[in-house]
Amino acid sequence: MLVASAMFLGTLLGGRRIVEKLGEKMTSLSLRSAVSSDIGSALSLFVITLLGIPASTTHIKTCAIAGAAAQWGGKVDKKELVSIAIGWILTVPACIILAYFITKTINWL
């Protein structure tokens, strides 16, 4: 329940920003490229799940959108793509630090 609640809260607070960044700032998709990105991300997630490899659906979907846009002649804003990648890189250490302090706090109580 705690994990589901955290995911719900994260989506509630940041979901709109993610959709706006991917759907408006990073690139503009045609119908053909949007369908291609959906199929590509769905197949990727299916194979990764079958192999038992943990994966981020947001990472896979973002890469599929950028790849489909580039393939079908769309313009991908590299500045936005770099901004997203930096966010991904910073997420892991931030989660480690946050988990450390939460664990310390719970143990202290």
Put simply, whether the predicted model's pTM sits higher than 0.85 gets the answer no
pLDDT in tens, 1-36: 887 888 788 778 877 777 777 777 788 888 888 888
Whole-number Cα distances in Å, 42 to 33, 86, 97, 105: 14, 24, 32, 39
